[in-house]
A and B are shown apart, each in its own frame.
Chain A
Amino acid sequence: MIRPGIRRLLAFATRTRRGREREVNEEIRVHFELRTEQLMRGGLSREDALRLAEQRFGPLEESRDQLLNAAAAREKRMTVNDHIESIQQDVAFALRQLRRSPAFAVTVIVTLGLGIGANATMFGVVDRLLLQPPVGVVDPARVVTPSVQAGHRMQHVQDRLSYPIYRDLRNTTDVFSEVGAWDTNALTVGDGQNAVSIAGIIATASYFRALGVRPLLGRFFTDEETDIAPAPRVIVLGYWYWQRQLAGAATAVGSTIVISGQPFTVIGIAPRDFNGLGLGDVAAWAPFTTSTSAADFAEWSHTRQRFMLNIVARLRPGVSLQAATTQGTAGLHAGSRLDSYTDADIRDRNEQLMLTSALPRDARGGRAEARVATLVAAVSLLVLIIACANVANLQVARAMSRRREVAIRLALGISRRRLLRQLALDGLILSVAGGAAALVIVAWGGGFVRRLLLNGASAQVSPVNWRVMVFTAVIAVLTGVVTGLLPAVQSTRADLSRALRTGGRGAHGSFSRTRFALIGVQAALTIVLLVGTVLFVRSLWRIEAVPLGMETGRILEARVNSSGRDYSNEQRVRDYERLERAAVAIPEVDGAAMSMTKPFGSSSGVEVVIPGRDSVQTTRTGGPYYNAVSPDFFRTMGTRVVGGRAFTIGDRAGAAPVAIVNQTTATLWWPNENAIGKCIKIGGDSMPCSEIVGVVENTRRQAIIEDPTVMVFTPLGQGPSWATPYTLFIRTRQAAPDVATSVAAQLRAAAPGVPYTSVRPFDDSINPQMRSWRLGATMFGLFAGVALLLAAVGLYGVMAYDVTQRTTEIGVRMALGARAVDIGRLVVWRGVRIAAVGGVIGVVLAIAAGSRVSSLLFQTSAYEPVAFLLAASVLCGVTLFATLVPALRATRVDPNTSLRAD
């Protein structure tokens, strides 16, 4: 049996048509010779034998042609087989070569792993955030979430809506087939010390129909269960909660679980990974009116300005977004009329419906986090390019050291194509290994980025899924080809005879140019990343420094989780009062106060009448907004009283009605007068006069960045009947997160019988609003760090190699009298020059990219000189550092040895 390798050596004999013909003819000739002899041995005469041989062979010309065709087909097939086999050989060869230089292989794999991993991680995030449709939702393009714009310049956007608006949209049946209402709501499972809080959603029956989701087991709610208060105690469990807590037993449906001390019947299980329209795990769904008393429901279901729910609607087939918007707006206005708003009011408010599809790119694409995530994903490409440049650099260096080998193989007649293929394969193998390393990074870093970026996103979904794997594979192959091919082209173009003569040393001009160019690219991109880091860090600092009118860092918020109870207003007031008393007795606590609404969480509008005026002025954010608080509220929150006084214990029900307004309100309503002592009627003209006793600094209603708000406060006992506490704010002596657990435990222990009370730092409500800048600062910083490290390693490698290549030159210089300082300066200068050129290009790139990021920054120009200066000096420092060691080595060159070496 002949070995393919040997066969290939003989291949030119048959590869060509003529060679093949010769071979077939030869075989036919031999055949006749041997066949005749064989027949003659059987007793035939020579002539008879020859005739018989011809007869048995068939018509000669025809048979010969057939054989030639068969031979041609055979060669074609064998060529393909040979190709496969030679690729196998090349792979084996490449693996052997890599095993011989493990340091090189490991460096390249780690570098590529970082580059590809950064990309794959960010792809995973963007995919999750913007590309993958919500699980379980049928035809998400037809599912819309409404919000309302108000004011004549559409300045005021209300994302959370009220029950009357939900009712109005439900009545707009010609464009919406289903309209559902929902809200997130923590549910307390178990009771007493063993109680735990789980993430829940309260929803109407129509919510599930609007999303088009089907239960995995059992059923969802019926309208009868969700449109009345108090609602029946039924619950739908999330898939993962069912799996974890009930071991996925089918008997779970129909069983009972205790929520806030009340038995709830499990009626259904949601499909796997269904989390509504959000990204976070939902453990259970309860009827929308679960925690609501009949009286409460009657009250808020008729209050148009009680913004407390989210709406989701499904468009009827064939209805455009445009038509639905117009019809929906008309529905809103009709509903306002039903709620006895006058036509003038409606015109004045100018409410317009806004619809956003539930497709992630529509629903989340406009959000700052999504935009920053996309930007960071784009930026991760820079990290990959830097990694590629580094790897290409290493490959070029290796190619230089393998030049003699390559030259010999070329001289021995290996085809340039085959050689190219071998070198490209080399790169491919490394990049595939790098891709595998990248997946490890994704699996490991995915959790970190998720916490940072997709806060609260379901942890059930692994960061490594098939989409990420495909992405990684594609990127890995591309990088492999790119990083392998550049040095391959370079080294096969090398001058053969010269390489052989010099033993693979010297004549490294074109190699060096390539390597220095690659370093320049790295420097340029590193500058871009550094500038971005500085810009985002400064934005983050500035957003953190925005005065909120509250000292949020030392505040805890405690909320009674009453869901599932028939919880009367009176009971709630009693429970919060108990909690307040319990809180102030805790040593770590400096003060506590109850509040109806929660800044950054909820707000409530109210009608205010000033005697003698037709209407009250408000700002672009709407209002007037109203909060009812207990006496110590302003001190607890750290809100300064700028005029008059705060509330006191004396301001209780039955005492003379008093009110406090914020600065915006005071100057807007009484521009040239003192607001103190003025009378306002809160809740309508029929209400008694409340005397303004104090003015407080402006605080935020719902966002860190918002226009001034008209805000009115009354003591809790003096407001309308529905003004009851929903939050207890606790001022701590130390940073709130440090004592949260301890305070929570003491609070629960001191107030047994009060439903489960959740305690968390107030900052947790605010921080999500800073997430986009925090994300930008962290990810840019991380990537810039990686880039800087790679660039430094790359530069060091190139400089060190450069020094060894120029040992002779340096020796000559020293022999001619150059001092060590001159030599050192020479080397450093070489490095600095490249970094400088790259840096300048980077600055130009950063300026060009500026317009893309400026809208994502906070009070920070994309062209801040500080950012550029800082970036440049960091790069400069790193460059010096990376060139210093090679420079020192250069100064230690001994002219004697170096000159004798050649």
Chain B
Amino acid sequence: MPDAQPVSKGTLDIIVLRALSWSPMHGVEIIAWLEEYTKGRLELDDSGVYQALYRMEGRALVSAAWGVTDNKRRARYYSVTAAGTAYLRAETRKWVRYTDTVTELLTRPLPAGGSR
């Protein structure tokens, strides 16, 4: 994946939350879902996803339980808690406002005149 971009730690949390808001999943499902959804444009570190999950589990944004996969394998399933949903919504709003501002700043034509 040559054009894949690295993900900063802060955004990894909401990215993973976003995946889980689709449906409860185990680690590999999350990774696969993200790869598919972003068409491989994000450079995800698999163990980093687990770290994000553990971190958020500690903050009660996600909860985890051992469950069974479709083909009868034991796996740890993660799901978003109510606190996680609220967190995701708030963080998304912040993110959008931030990127909108920066995008506008970087892309709008500059006024005539300016520096010498």
> Which A residues fall within an 8 A CB radius of B?
1-2, 27-28, 30-31, 33-35, 38, 53, 56-58, 63-64, 66-67, 70-71, 73-78, 81
Contacts and interface: CB of A to CB of B under 8 A. Distances in A.
Nearest to A63: B47
Contacts of A73: 54-55, 58
Contact of B54 (A33, A64, A71): A71
A67 B28 contact: no
From A28, A73, A74, name the one whose CB has the most chain B CB atoms within 10 angstroms: A74
Given A30-B75, A76-B58, 19 more contacts: A1-B63, A2-B65, A27-B27, A27-B76, A30-B76, A31-B27, A31-B28, A34-B73, A58-B45, A58-B46, A66-B47, A67-B47, A67-B51, A67-B54, A70-B55, A71-B54, A77-B59, A78-B57, A78-B60
Interface residues of B, number: 28
Interface string B51-85: 10011011110011100010001111001010000
Nearest to A62: B47
Given A2-B63, A34-B26, A34-B69, A74 B58 contact: yes
10 contacts: A2-B64, A2-B65, A30-B75, A30-B76, A34-B26, A34-B27, A38-B28, A58-B48, A64-B47, A66-B51
B47 A58 contact: yes
A81 B28 CA distance: 28
Contacts of A70: 50-51, 54-55
A67 B32 CA distance: 20
B31 interface: yes
Contacts of B45: 56-58
Contacts of B54: 67, 70-71, 73-74
Contacts of A56: 44-46
Given A56-B45, A74-B55, A27 B73 contact: no
Contacts of B51: 66-67, 70
Contacts of B58: 73-78
A268 B74 CA distance: 84
A293 B65 CA distance: 96
Given A27-B27, A56-B45, A67 B65 contact: no
A76 B60 CA distance: 12
Contacts of A58: 45-48
A28 B53 CA distance: 13
Contacts of B60: 78, 81
Contacts of B64: 2
A345 B38 CA distance: 109
A34 B49 CA distance: 15
A77 B50 CA distance: 17
A34 B77 CA distance: 13
Contacts of A2: 63-65
B81 A1 contact: yes
Nearest to A6: B65
A242 B51 CA distance: 69
Given A1-B79, A58-B45, A78-B60, A31 B55 contact: no
A56 B75 CA distance: 19
A30 B74 contact: yes
Contacts of A71: 54
A823 B46 CA distance: 82
Contacts of B31: 35
Contacts of A31: 27-28, 46, 50
B82 to A, nearest CB: 9
Nearest to B32: A38
Nearest to A78: B58
Contacts of B59: 77
A73 B76 CA distance: 18
A77 B65 CA distance: 17
A70 B53 CA distance: 9
A31 B27 CA distance: 7
Nearest to B82: A1
A78 B69 CA distance: 26
A58 B47 CA distance: 7
Contacts of B47: 57-58, 63-64, 66-67
Contacts of B27: 27, 30-31, 34
Nearest to A3: B63
Contacts of A38: 28, 32
A66 B55 CA distance: 11
A27 B30 CA distance: 14
A250 to B, nearest CB: 48
A1 B73 CA distance: 19
Contacts of B32: 38
B46 A57 contact: yes
From B46, B55, B79, name the one whose CB has the most chain A CB atoms within 10 angstroms: B46
A33 B73 contact: yes
B28 A34 contact: yes
B76 A35 contact: no
A77 B69 CA distance: 28
A22 to B, nearest CB: 12
B28 A35 contact: yes
Q: Which 8 A-B pairs have the closest CB atoms?
A: A74-B58, A63-B47, A77-B58, A70-B54, A34-B28, A2-B65, A57-B46, A74-B54
Nearest to A81: B60
Given A1-B79, A77-B59, A27 B46 contact: no
From A27, A38, A64, name the one whose CB has the most chain B CB atoms within 10 angstroms: A27
A28 B46 CA distance: 10
A469 B47 CA distance: 54
From B54, B59, B64, name the one whose CB has the most chain A CB atoms within 10 angstroms: B54
Contacts of A35: 28, 31, 46
A63 B54 CA distance: 13
B57 A74 contact: yes
Contacts of B75: 30, 34
Contacts of A66: 47, 51
Nearest to B59: A77
A6 to B, nearest CB: 9
A70 B44 CA distance: 18
Contacts of B79: 1
Nearest to B75: A30
A28 B27 CA distance: 10
Contacts of B57: 74, 78
A31 B55 CA distance: 18
Nearest to A57: B46
A546 to B, nearest CB: 75
A739 B14 CA distance: 86
Contacts of A57: 45-47
A73 B57 CA distance: 10
Interface in B4-56: 26-28, 31-32, 44-48, 50-51, 54-55
Contacts of B63: 1-2
Nearest to A74: B58
Nearest to B51: A70
A34 B32 CA distance: 10
B34 to A, nearest CB: 12
A64 B44 CA distance: 17
Nearest to A54: B46
Contacts of A81: 60
A751 to B, nearest CB: 81
B74 to A, nearest CB: 7
Nearest to A75: B58
Contacts of A34: 26-28, 69, 73, 75
Contacts of B55: 70, 73-74
A82 to B, nearest CB: 10
A58 B44 CA distance: 11
Contacts of A63: 47
Nearest to A4: B63
A696 to B, nearest CB: 90
A66 B59 CA distance: 17
Contacts of B44: 56
B22 to A, nearest CB: 15
Contacts of A74: 54-55, 57-58
B28 A27 contact: no
Contacts of A67: 47, 50-51, 54
